[in-house]
Amino acid sequence: MKPTDIAVPDYFHKVVDCQWACPAHTPVPEYIRLIAAGRFDDAYMINWTSNVFPGILGRTCDRPCEPACRRGRVEEQNLQKAEPVAICRLKRVAADSKGDISKYLPMTPSQKNGKRIACVGAGPASLTVARDLAPLGYEVTVFDQDPRAGGMIRSQIPRFRLPEQIIDEEVGYVIDRCVTFRGGVRINSMKKLLDEGYDAIFVGTGAPRGRDLDIPGRKEAGKNIHVGIDWLSSVSFGHISKIGKRVIVLGGGNTAMDCCRTSRRLGGTDVKVIVRSGFDEMKASPWEKEDAMHEGIPILNFLVPKEFVHDSGKLAGVVLEKVEAVYDAHGRRTLVPTGEPDEQFECDDVLIAVGQENAFSWIERDCGIEFNDREMPVVDETTFQSSLPSVLFGGDAAFGPKNIIWAVAHGHEAAISIDRLCNGEDTRNRPSPMVNLISQKMGIHEWTYDNDISNELRHKVPLREQKIALKDINVEVELGFDQKLAFDEAQRCLNCDVQTVFSSPLCIECDACVDICPMDCITFTEDGEEQELRERLSAPAPNLSQDLYVAGALKTGRVMVKDEDVCLHCGLCAERCPTGAWDMRKFLLNMTHAGPGCRSRK
Amino acid sequence: MTYIAKPRLRHPNLKANKFGFTHRDYEGAVSTLCAGCGHDSISSAIIQACFELNLPPHRIAKLSGIGCSSKTPTYFLGNSHGFNSVHGRMPSVLTGANLANRDLIYLGISGDGDSASIGLGQFAHSVRRGVNMVYIVENNGVYGLTKGQFSATADRGSKSKKGAYNRDAAVDMVMLAMELGATYVARGFAGDKAQLVPLIKGAIAHRGAAFIDCISPCIAFNNHPGSTKGFDYVREHNEAVNRLDVMLPREAITVDYQPGEVEEVTQHDGSVLALRKLADDYDVHDRIAAMHHLQKSKAAGEIVTGVLHVDPEPDDLHANLNTLPTPFNKLAEKELCPGSTALDKFNAAHR
């Protein structure tokens, strides 16, 4: 195998599984250590810099970091239940426990740079663009059809998951400080907006249209059949405060989970979720399904809605066809009727949450922005530019519905493109991340981080008593970790960013690291091809998504091979190394955001 | 010295043996020896050997004397019996234990100070009596605990870390063991576990006095250019006479050798030592020829490693004394003490 080049930032970045999986590449272990140290302001600011909405994301993030977390893999076969570190809820602790951080926020320069930027939609993507650009002197104007900024964060996420003051605070850090916000202004024509002479326009309008179900009875019983996301935003803005006793929610995504739980709080006593697919294939995050079921909401699967039954316009129930999943030779799934008789469920209201769509009717098709056959704008995946270079798309508006953290990541990238564009530079040229690799050695057995490994299982977030929680839609269900629980949970983090760095010239091949490694990660052996090498290591390395760290030029002609897969980053290899051939070095990677750092050196 | 305990978490896909134990279950407390000590490597080889042989930890007794090497039984086989005895007296304590309970597997762990100086006499007598044991000398050539003075196994002409030459002749533990009639003699190197683990397995499978001289570099005091027991020196001068594979009883023989290349020695427990020759003229059964070879190689500055001698039909202390097959500690008072009538009869026979 070729020796590993650790100078390539991606190599160690991949070892920090959580950061690698995070679309915004937030340095997770770095802020978890700060939480353990009680430095909540600092932990918050690392998050704020990277993902703009720590308090919001700490409650609502889709957390791609957690399935990636190494802790989940190392606990397998070791503890009763293998689970990742509760990264998302730790983020919330930083937000909940911080003091006044306004002093750390960037100031907006009084001297502007003369460039004007328009952001359409005031959701997470647009706000990220605004946050990145305004401190650089850009004049940013954010438009939204709603009177208040936040986009789907405000309109669709129920208050019992995300209290309004959190939204006000974090949206406020952007809107109140550095941009012009024009709420309640709906942009109806791209052409008109282009005529206003902005240097760049960012479209972050989300995927605002809920998909409907065109089946018999839909029109007739329409008074009691609602499109999920519209209904949720009506609830959010106080236009709806009641629903029937018996509610059926159709759909299996996170919106469906929000719909059913909201119904429980608005008078629904018999609320069900009905999905076409199997329970395990539902799009909703596992924890959101759990939360719904915890509130006494059953989830019925393999049922396809066929007809809304009504009594001269008054909704009476839904007829559902029983199906089963059949897989073809390519593993593709089709839902095939089982032939059993249809089922009918009675209900007073139905909420349809079967997907979201984009709506770009306001963009004239002859204004220079190319659209594809699915009526989506053609957007460059790197620069986020449309075929009109000064018009960029991000968030759900770019590639269809995703989630907040993806919108933030898009926003950062779009801001870089805008900054380079306004400075006359090629937007295809992307800036490298800022990378730092520094030894953490303080003394013979002293490291700057706590290298002892906690054996504790993942801690559960305390919940409010259900009787109280179900009474009021504005009462937050999760109480969040207190500082003691947060510390214990933070200790479960393996500090994967503290890297094991190996130096062949120093190694005397004494085997001390091999013997002490608790996870049998290290092997000294004859070189070979990767596939064959993976099978003859101290412990086999079947996880191909995790790299092998290979170092050659040893005196005996062998190579050192370390399987990164389940390394605990406990540093025992470095502690037992007599010559310092192993060292524990902290790998800190910060993404470069818009600003002088993202521009080419002149 | 390491402050944190070795984490309890282990690799999720570790192999388990017959008892469902992984090699981690054969570990002991975390080592307090210097980082990189060869002794830790030997501990790890013992762990691996016991794991691979499917040994139940409670059927093993580890005994030691005093010294860096004699500390190591704490660091392996944490669930086995242990006895840390007086300096140089491990062989006597082991002999006594073996007499009382012949059913256990005895690991005697010693060092060059413990066995070649203060305990030389003890070592000699336990070997000549053929005590059924595995006697491992972790040989680093210096007194590490007292800051690196030459030990009795340091080669004449080798240099200390401070630059002093050793003017005394070295005690060669392997030659002594051969001379005294050890029925399994091997030399290994802490820096080559692929060789060392089978040597230990072979020694455990052997019923009789099995002796392993294991060169174990002392990182703190004897791993420098003038040393003859450092990693570099041993790697440069290592002449392995054979490679050993140990096959468990009833285990399919998986190693594929050309005919004539391999000699198989079946042990009393049914396990097979498969010896692949590396030196053509070396015969492990011919004790005298082997000693001759060792002398010649030593004069040529080579360090001969591998299985150096094995007696296919060894005797042990219990066979020589004609003791009962039942361990003494399992006999009740009635069997151990035949009573005054029997004593009178016995005494009368001597009048």
pLDDT in tens, A512-566: 999 999 999 999 999 999 999 999 999 999 999 999 999 988 999 999 999 999 9
In terms of residue numbers, what domain contains A238? 210-356
The per-residue pLDDT for range A189-200, each reduced to its tens digit, is: 999 999 999 999
Tokens 């629904």 belong to which residue? Answer: A268
Among B279, B275, B253, B255, smallest CA distance to B264 is for: B275
Does residue B36 sit within a domain?
yes
| Dihedral in degrees, nearest 10, Cα atoms A182, A188, A189, A195 | -30
Residues B63 and B74: their CA atoms lie apart, in Å, by: 10
Q: Is A80 exposed, middle or buried (0-12, 13-18, 19+ CB in 10 A)?
A: exposed
Residues A311 and A266 in one domain: yes
Sequence-separated (6 or more) residues with CB below 8 Å from residue B241: B277, B278, B279, B282, B284, B293, B304, B305, B306, B307, B308
pLDDT of amino acid B269: 81
pLDDT of amino acid A380: 97
Residue B254 has pLDDT above 80, yes or no: no
Residue B53 has pLDDT above 90, yes or no: yes
Q: Which of A356, A380, A405 is the last residue of a domain?
A: A356
Among B69, B252, B233, smallest CA distance to B144 is for: B69
Strand-strand pairing, B149-150 and B142-143: antiparallel
pLDDT of amino acid B247: 87
Where are the extended beta strands (E) located within A328-429?
333-337, 343-346, 349-352, 356-357, 391-393
Among B9, B35, B44, select the one facing A578 at the smallest CB separation.
B35
Cβ contact A508–B44 (<8 Å): no
pLDDT of amino acid B265: 85
Write down the H helix ranges in B149-248: 173-179, 193-205, 231-237
For chain A, what is the domain count?
A: 2
What is chain B's percent helix, strand, coil content, to nearest 5? 35, 20, 45
The per-residue pLDDT for range A3-61, each reduced to its tens digit, is: 999 999 999 999 999 999 999 999 999 999 999 999 999 999 999 999 999 999 999 99
**DSSP, res A424:** T
Strand-strand pairing, A200-203 and A391-393: parallel
Cβ contact B36–A518 (<8 Å): no
Residues A162 and A217 in one domain: no
pLDDT of amino acid B259: 56
| Dihedral in degrees, nearest 10, Cα atoms A186, A188, A192, A194 | 80
Residues A223 and A174 in one domain: no
Q: Starting at the earlier edge strand, list the strands of the sheet with B303-310.
A: B81-84, B60-64, B105-111, B133-139, B209-215, B184-189, B303-310, B238-240
Provide the number of CB pairs (under 8 Å) joining chain A to chain B.
108
Residues forming a β-bridge with B184: B210, B310
Where are the extended beta strands (E) located within A384-525?
391-393, 434-439, 441-443, 446-447, 498-502, 522-525
Task: Mutation target for A interface from B6, B8, B9: give the one with most A CBs within 10 A.
Answer: B9
Cβ contact A512–B41 (<8 Å): yes
Q: Has the ipTM of the complex gone over 0.90?
A: yes
Sequence-separated (6 or more) residues with CB below 8 Å from residue A110: none
pLDDT of amino acid A426: 96
Does residue A233 sit within a domain?
yes
Task: Mutation target for A interface from B13, B27, B48: give the one with most A CBs within 10 A.
Answer: B13
Residues A444 and A446: their CA atoms lie apart, in Å, by: 6
Helix (H, G, I), strand (E, B) or coil at A184: coil
Among A354, A356, A352, smallest CA distance to A123 is for: A356
Residues A92 and A444: their CA atoms lie apart, in Å, by: 36
Helix (H, G, I), strand (E, B) or coil at B348: helix
Lowest-confidence range among A106-110, A377-381, B147-151, B320-324?
Answer: A106-110
Where are the extended beta strands (E) located within B241-317?
242-247, 262-266, 272-277, 303-310
Residues A214 and A144 in one domain: no
Q: Which two tokens stand for residue A445?
A: 């057995």
pLDDT of amino acid B252: 58
Does residue B4 sit within a domain?
no
Residues of B whose CB is below 8 A from A575: 2, 35
Among B56, B72, B52, B53, smallest CA distance to B64 is for: B72
Write down the H helix ranges in A517-568: 530-535
State how far residue A556 is from chain B, nearest Cα, in angstroms: 8
Residue B281 has pLDDT above 90, yes or no: no
Sequence-separated (6 or more) residues with CB below 8 Å from residue A177: A105, A108, A134
Query: Which of the four pLDDT bands, split at 50, 70 and 90, describes residue B272?
Result: confident
The per-residue pLDDT for range B261-270, each reduced to its tens digit, is: 788 888 888 8
The per-residue pLDDT for range A491-526, each reduced to its tens digit, is: 999 999 999 999 999 999 999 999 999 999 999 999
pLDDT of amino acid A108: 87
Residue A594 has pLDDT above 70, yes or no: yes
Residues A352 and A217 in one domain: yes
Give φ, ψ of B155 to 5 degrees: -70, 145
Among A377, A357, A359, A360, smallest CA distance to A368 is for: A377
For chain B, what is the domain count?
A: 1
Where are the extended beta strands (E) located within A157-215?
180-183, 200-203, 209-210
Residues A245 and A362 in one domain: no
State how far residue A582 is from chain B, nearest Cα, in angstroms: 12
Q: Which two tokens stand for residue B37?
A: 């000590």
Residues A273 and A405 in one domain: no
Does residue A379 sit within a domain?
yes
pLDDT of amino acid B232: 95
Dihedral of CA A14/A16/A19/A22: which sign? positive
Residues of A whose CB is below 8 A from B30: 516
Task: Mutation target for B interface from A509, A511, A513, A535: give the one with most B CBs within 10 A.
Answer: A511
Does residue A458 sit within a domain?
no
Among A115, A1, A105, smallest CA distance to A44 is for: A105
| B224 contacts chain A (CB < 8 A) | no
Residues A214 and A352 in one domain: yes
Q: How many CB atoms lie within 10 A of CB A303?
A: 21
Question: In this prediction, what percent of chain A has a pLDDT beyond 70?
Answer: 100
Q: Is B49 exposed, middle or buried (0-12, 13-18, 19+ CB in 10 A)?
A: buried
Residues of A whose CB is below 8 A from B14: 520, 539
State how far residue A85 is from chain B, nearest Cα, in angstroms: 16
State how far residue B201 is from chain A, nearest Cα, in angstroms: 18
- The answer to whether A97 touches A40, Cβ cutoff 8 Å, is yes
User: Long-range contacts: A263-266, Cβ < 8 Å, 24+?
Assistant: A263/A349, A263/A351, A264/A295, A264/A296, A264/A297, A264/A470, A265/A160, A265/A470, A265/A471, A265/A472, A265/A473, A266/A235, A266/A240, A266/A241, A266/A242, A266/A473
Does residue B17 sit within a domain?
no
Among B3, B10, B34, select the one facing A519 at the smallest CB separation.
B10
| Dihedral in degrees, nearest 10, Cα atoms A419, A425, A430, A436 | -80
Query: Which of the four pLDDT bands, split at 50, 70 and 90, describes residue A388?
Result: very high
Query: Which of the four pLDDT bands, split at 50, 70 and 90, describes residue B43?
Result: very high
Helix (H, G, I), strand (E, B) or coil at A172: helix
Residues A195 and A293 in one domain: no
Residues forming a β-bridge with A337: A323
Residue A591 has pLDDT above 90, yes or no: yes
The per-residue pLDDT for range A244-286, each reduced to its tens digit, is: 999 999 999 999 999 999 999 999 999 999 999 999 999 999 9
Residues A315 and A341 in one domain: yes
Residues A397 and A261 in one domain: no
pLDDT of amino acid B261: 73
pLDDT of amino acid B260: 59
**Higher-confidence position of B271 and A558:** A558
Closest residue in A to B25 (Cα) is A518
Q: How many CB atoms lie within 10 A of CB B76?
A: 27
pLDDT of amino acid B3: 77
pLDDT of amino acid B253: 58
| B52 contacts chain A (CB < 8 A) | no
Residues A461 and A291: their CA atoms lie apart, in Å, by: 12
Cβ contact B191–A455 (<8 Å): no
The per-residue pLDDT for range A450-507, each reduced to its tens digit, is: 999 999 999 999 999 999 999 999 999 999 999 999 999 999 999 999 999 999 999 9
DSSP run (H or E) holding A325: strand A314-327
Q: How much is the average pLDDT of A394-416?
A: 96
Among A444, A515, A519, select the one facing B9 at the smallest CB separation.
A519
Q: Is B234 exposed, middle or buried (0-12, 13-18, 19+ CB in 10 A)?
A: buried
Residues of B whose CB is below 8 A from A573: none
Among B48, B65, B21, B310, smallest CA distance to B201 is for: B48
State how far residue A43 is from chain B, nearest Cα, in angstroms: 27
DSSP run (H or E) holding A398: helix A396-399
pLDDT of amino acid B258: 61
CATH classification at residue A313: 3.50.50.60
The terminus-to-terminus CA distance of chain B in angstroms comes to 64
State how far residue B9 is from chain A, nearest Cα, in angstroms: 6
- The answer to whether B223 touches A509, Cβ cutoff 8 Å, is no
pLDDT of amino acid B257: 59
The per-residue pLDDT for range B130-144, each reduced to its tens digit, is: 999 999 999 999 999
Cβ contact B10–A568 (<8 Å): no
Residue B4 has pLDDT above 80, yes or no: yes
pLDDT of amino acid B308: 96
In terms of residue numbers, what domain contains B178? 23-321
Does residue A279 sit within a domain?
yes
Mean pLDDT, chain A, integer: 95
pLDDT of amino acid B251: 66
Cβ contact B43–A515 (<8 Å): yes
State how far residue B42 is from chain A, nearest Cα, in angstroms: 10
Residues A193 and A215 in one domain: no
Does residue A133 sit within a domain?
yes
Among B11, B191, B193, select the one facing A539 at the smallest CB separation.
B11
Residues of A whose CB is below 8 A from B190: 510-511
pLDDT of amino acid B336: 86
Among A540, A555, A568, select the one facing B9 at the smallest CB separation.
A568
Mean pLDDT, chain B, integer: 93
pLDDT of amino acid B334: 86
Residues B284 and A584: their CA atoms lie apart, in Å, by: 47
- The answer to whether B267 touches B207, Cβ cutoff 8 Å, is yes
Does residue B73 sit within a domain?
yes
pLDDT of amino acid A124: 97
pLDDT of amino acid A319: 96
Helix (H, G, I), strand (E, B) or coil at A213: coil
Does residue A98 sit within a domain?
no
| B2 contacts chain A (CB < 8 A) | yes
Does residue B133 sit within a domain?
yes
Helix (H, G, I), strand (E, B) or coil at A256: helix
Does residue A30 sit within a domain?
no
Among B98, B23, B107, smallest CA distance to B69 is for: B107
> CA-CA distances (angstroms) from residue A158 to A92, A265, B122?
17, 11, 81
Residues of B whose CB is below 8 A from A520: 10-11, 14
The per-residue pLDDT for range B180-194, each reduced to its tens digit, is: 999 999 999 999 999
CATH classification at residue B286: 3.40.50.970
> CA-CA distances (angstroms) from residue B36 to A280, B1, B139, B166?
50, 10, 15, 25
State how far residue A475 is from chain B, nearest Cα, in angstroms: 40
**DSSP, res A316:** E
- The answer to whether A318 touches A170, Cβ cutoff 8 Å, is no
| B38 contacts chain A (CB < 8 A) | yes
Closest residue in B to A525 (Cα) is B194
Q: By a Cβ cutoff of 8 Å, what residues of chain A touch chain B?
A: 73-78, 444-445, 451-453, 455, 508-512, 514-516, 518-521, 539-540, 542, 555-556, 566, 568, 570, 572, 575-579
Residue B280 has pLDDT above 90, yes or no: no
Does residue B276 sit within a domain?
yes
Query: Which of the four pLDDT bands, split at 50, 70 and 90, describes residue B279?
Result: confident
Among A566, A575, A578, select the one facing B219 at the smallest CB separation.
A578
Residues of A whose CB is below 8 A from B37: 510, 512
Cβ contact B11–A520 (<8 Å): yes
Among B7, B10, B231, select the one facing A510 at the smallest CB separation.
B231
Cβ contact A512–B35 (<8 Å): yes
Does residue A433 sit within a domain?
no
Does residue B339 sit within a domain?
no
Q: Which of A323, A339, A356 is the last residue of a domain?
A: A356
Does residue B224 sit within a domain?
yes
- The answer to whether B69 touches B138, Cβ cutoff 8 Å, is yes
The terminus-to-terminus CA distance of chain A in angstroms comes to 39
Residues of B whose CB is below 8 A from A516: 2, 6, 30-31, 40
